[in-house]
């Protein structure tokens, strides 16, 4: 008779495995209703959660790596946490390395991971890296691309539909009366950025609103957002966009500060939407509307796909291709874009 | 004839090695004056910076580990970045692991690092971990404790004088007219928290102001700061502190949002000071006064101490003890605490 596991608890409670994991590690992150259902399922099944420590000791030989651009963007640190919780539950430990978006660093760290014989690697990258991952796969190290759909049908990936996210942002701004849209983001060759721009463009076209002004930036940081915000504040009201969609929240937070400091009312004169829905966006004095990837499921799904490849080999689907999960993002509307009109 | 290196550039420019490293990686982070002196020194010496990629390939066998509580607090992600830049310049690559403040996880990850034969480990911990680090040292893996002064004279550490930081925060609030101080932080057994409280207490005592009210919290997060802020906003003005010192910036940002949302003017009715000076504190709509550790030097110093132990063995000082660097923090005054009175 096998002891009930986290999967049985999830099934009984009617929630995702990741939600049970979140409940066990961070009960305050789970809605009261879900927490109640999970607690009931645990009682009914007599489920005994293993201590994290015990699982970790078992898991020392099951090391996985996560290579991400960097963690100064809270979006990545939030995904990192979900990855850790999920991996721990599966008895795996995680080492992190940061590429800072540099292709040479990516290669160096992937090599370091392989040399250290990790069992699999999660990779977030802004650049084409599929060929490198295919070579690693041939040498026996599976990987999952996180945050961008792989352009190699044999490469598993977990991503957000960024075109849809951009479209939702654009539709929302237009519904709130904005007619002069701007998109702040870059570099434009980065797929995630290009997709978000494509989305907001399609929303404008569908509503017969002028195409958004594109303000391309070299880096998606608070400092850059602040510089763009100051430049926008210096424009005359007629020349200024009345709805701004930023490619991520840290850019948006910089924009918000500089616009308000420059005497521009948000959302009154400029409605503002970010992307990622990080916790600083929510905690801002003018809380920021943002497009949210569902982090819980997202990080957990990446680990699950990797675990599958590690345990069962590449496990292609019936048609021979790898699993590529694409999540539909959700617009979280807050004060920065909500206007009466 | 040896080619000039980064140390020669630093000496010629009259700046720290870490500053040259910052200049090479992130020129925008270095003051214009320093950048000019470094650029001149590079010209004069004919210094050719190595590509990060080349150094990284050389450094694949020089792997170090950094175990920190987690990266959702931007304070740690900022230190992590400085550690990476400095380590790269020394030809070392860095793997990160996160303990989430859990002692069992700390042990599990330290063991994982040792098994993977890292050459040394940086450790940020809120708990006594010196005995574990001593045992590792005996087995041949040196470490540097980052963020807290080691209570073992053979253990190298790099830390901030948190008592001084707390005192500066308290003196500043009192100088700005605050007479009913409160400290928000916890758990109180955490040394860094206890030291910051001791500092603000000593400032109050020295100024013959009532001892600060202590609002102990279980976790230093935005969500917890928000809950405390809502409770403070609900008090009558007479019962409410007029000067609040939060043990870190994420707590302070949550406090700020909930106070303002609750109709309490900041800094007018409550002056607010945080700790760490993370970039979100600076970018807040009411920019946050905060106590800053000098990250650049701080992360670089930790790597340098570790490098010394790796290259030259434990290298105790003349009196047989290990190097323990303690940095003096600096109060950065911004709008959240600046009042006319």
pLDDT tens profile B270-306: 999 999 999 999 999 999 999 997 656 889 999 999 9
- The average pLDDT across B167-186 equals 98
Please, are residues B41 and B15 in contact by the beta-carbon 8 Å criterion? Answer: no
Nearest residue on chain B to A225, judged by CA atoms? B283
Mean pLDDT for all residues in chain B? 88
pLDDT tens profile B248-274: 999 999 999 999 999 999 999 999 999
pLDDT score at B123: 97
* Cβ within 8 Å of residue B64, ≥6 positions away: B87, B92, B93, B94, B95, B118, B119, B120, B121, B122, B303, B306, B310
- The average pLDDT across B180-205 equals 96
Tell me if A96 and B95 make a contact (CB, 8 A cut-off). yes
CA distance A319 to chain B (A): 37
d(CA A231, CA A244): 13
Same CATH topology for B55-160+296-327 and B162-293+331-337: the answer is yes
pLDDT score at B129: 95
The CATH architecture that domain B1-47 belongs to is: Orthogonal Bundle (1.10)
Q: In which residue ranges of chain A is pLDDT below 70?
A: 1-4, 25-29, 46-61, 294-296, 314-317, 341
Confidence class for position B56, pLDDT limits 50, 70, 90: very low
* Interface membership of B295 toward A (CB under 8 Å): no
Tell me: cis bond preceding A64? Omega within 30 of 0 counts.
no
CA distance A60 to chain B (A): 6
DSSP B29: G
When scoring A22, A24, A72, A106 by the number of chain B Cβ atoms within 10 A, the one with the most, hence best to mutate, is: A72
Please, are residues A295 and A79 in contact by the beta-carbon 8 Å criterion? Answer: yes
d(CA A195, CA A160): 10
pLDDT score at A54: 39
pLDDT tens profile B104-151: 889 989 998 988 889 999 999 988 999 999 999 999 999 999 999 999
pLDDT score at B189: 93
Structure tokens at B128: 């006594």
Alpha carbon distances (Å) from B165 to A89, B151, B173, B188: 39, 20, 13, 16
Nearest residue on chain B to A74, judged by CA atoms? B72
Strands A330-332 and B181-185 come out as unpaired
Contacts with A77 from chain B: Cβ below 8 Å: 70-72, 77
Q: Which of residues 218-247 of B touch A (CB under 8 A)?
A: 222-223, 226
The CATH homologous superfamily of the domain defined by A6-160+294-329: Response regulator (3.40.50.2300)
Q: What angle do CA A326, A329, A331 make, to 5 degrees?
A: 175
Instruction: List, in sequence order, every beta strand (DSSP E) within B128-180.
Output: 143-146, 157-160
Res B55 pLDDT > 80: no
d(CA B329, CA B298): 11
Tell me if A112 and B60 make a contact (CB, 8 A cut-off). yes
Tell me if B80 and A98 make a contact (CB, 8 A cut-off). yes
Tell me if A283 and B226 make a contact (CB, 8 A cut-off). yes
d(CA B272, CA B269): 10
Q: Would you call A136 exposed, middle or buried from its count of C-beta atoms within 10 A (0-12, 13-18, 19+)?
A: buried
Contacts with B228 from chain A: Cβ below 8 Å: none
Give the percent of chain B with pLDDT over 70. 90
Res B5 pLDDT > 80: no
pLDDT tens profile A148-167: 999 999 999 999 999 999 99
Nearest residue on chain A to B278, judged by CA atoms? A72
SS3 A240: coil
Dihedrals phi, psi of B272, to nearest 5 degrees: -130, 135
pLDDT score at A61: 55
pLDDT score at B53: 39
pLDDT score at A51: 42
* Interface membership of A206 toward B (CB under 8 Å): no
d(CA B118, CA A313): 29
Q: Which of residues 19-58 of A touch B (CB under 8 A)?
A: 28, 51-53, 56-57
pLDDT score at A26: 64
Among candidate residues B115, B107, B158, the one with its CA nearest the CA of residue B133: B107
Tell me if A284 and B257 make a contact (CB, 8 A cut-off). yes
Tell me if A95 and B81 make a contact (CB, 8 A cut-off). no
Dihedrals phi, psi of B166, to nearest 5 degrees: -65, -40
Contacts with A94 from chain B: Cβ below 8 Å: 97
Nearest residue on chain B to A93, judged by CA atoms? B109
CA distance B202 to chain A (A): 32
Confidence class for position B17, pLDDT limits 50, 70, 90: confident
ipTM score assigned to the predicted complex:
0.79
CA distance A184 to chain B (A): 18
* Interface membership of A311 toward B (CB under 8 Å): no
Nearest residue on chain A to B69, judged by CA atoms? A81
CB-defined contacts A:B, below 8 A: 137
pLDDT score at A341: 56
The CATH homologous superfamily of the domain defined by B55-160+296-327: Response regulator (3.40.50.2300)
Contacts with A105 from chain B: Cβ below 8 Å: 52-53, 56
Q: Would you call A287 exposed, middle or buried from its count of C-beta atoms within 10 A (0-12, 13-18, 19+)?
A: middle
* Cβ within 8 Å of residue B288, ≥6 positions away: B249, B252, B253, B256, B272, B273, B274, B281, B282, B334, B336
When scoring A30, A60, A108 by the number of chain B Cβ atoms within 10 A, the one with the most, hence best to mutate, is: A108
* Interface membership of A182 toward B (CB under 8 Å): no
The partner residue sitting opposite B70, judged by closest CB among A81, A97, A254, is A81
Tell me if B60 and A115 make a contact (CB, 8 A cut-off). yes
The partner residue sitting opposite A60, judged by closest CB among B96, B108, B223, is B108
* Interface membership of A285 toward B (CB under 8 Å): yes
Contacts with B254 from chain A: Cβ below 8 Å: 283
Mean pLDDT for all residues in chain A? 88
SS3 A243: strand
Tell me if B95 and A97 make a contact (CB, 8 A cut-off). yes
Q: Which of residues 257-276 of B touch A (CB under 8 A)?
A: 257, 260
Q: Where are the domains of chain A?
A: 6-160+294-329, 162-292+331-337
What CATH topology corresponds to A162-292+331-337? Rossmann fold (3.40.50)
Dihedrals phi, psi of B101, to nearest 5 degrees: 75, 10
Tokens 């003051």 label which residue? B31
Tell me if A70 and B93 make a contact (CB, 8 A cut-off). no
Task: Reply yes or no on domain B162-293+331-337 having CATH 3.40.50.2300.
Answer: yes
Strand partners, B159: B326
């Amino acid at each position: 008779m096998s002891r009930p596991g986290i999967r049985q608890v999830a099934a009984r409670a009617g929630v995702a495995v990741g939600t049970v994991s979140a409940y066990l590690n961070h009960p305050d992150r789970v809605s009261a209703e879900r927490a109640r259902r999970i607690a009931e399922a645990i009682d009914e099944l007599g489920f005994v959660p293993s201590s994290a420590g015990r699982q970790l000791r078992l898991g020392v030989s099951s090391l996985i790596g996560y290579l991400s651009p960097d963690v100064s963007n809270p979006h990545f640190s939030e995904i990192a946490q979900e990855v850790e919780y999920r991996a721990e539950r599966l008895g795996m430990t995680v080492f992190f390395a940061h590429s800072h978006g540099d292709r040479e660093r990516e290669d160096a760290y992937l090599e370091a991971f392989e040399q250290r014989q990790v069992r699999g690697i999660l990779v977030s990258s802004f650049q084409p890296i599929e060929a490198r991952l295919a070579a690693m796969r041939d040498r026996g190290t599976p990987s999952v691309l996180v945050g961008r759909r792989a352009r190699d049908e044999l490469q598993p990936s977990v991503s957000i539909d960024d075109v849809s996210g951009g479209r939702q942002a654009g539709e929302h701004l237009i519904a709130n009366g904005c007619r002069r849209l701007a998109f702040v983001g870059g570099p434009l060759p980065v797929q995630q950025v290009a997709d978000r721009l494509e989305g907001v463009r399609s929303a404008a076209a569908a509503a017969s609103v002028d195409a958004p002004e594109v303000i391309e930036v070299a880096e998606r940081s608070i400092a850059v957002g602040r510089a763009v915000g100051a430049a926008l504040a210096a424009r005359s009201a007629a020349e200024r966009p009345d709805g701004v969609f930023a490619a991520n929240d840290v850019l948006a937070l910089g924009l918000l500060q500089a616009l308000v400091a420059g005497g521009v009312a948000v959302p009154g004169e400029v409605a503002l939407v970010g992307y990622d829905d990080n916790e600083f966006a929510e905690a801002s004095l003018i809380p920021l509307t943002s497009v949210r990837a569902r982090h819980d499921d997202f990080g957990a799904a990446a680990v699950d796909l990797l675990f599958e490849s590690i345990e069962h080999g590449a496990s292609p689907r019936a048609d021979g291709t790898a699993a590529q999960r694409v999540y539909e993002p959700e617009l979280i509307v807050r004060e920065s874009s909500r206007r009466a009109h």
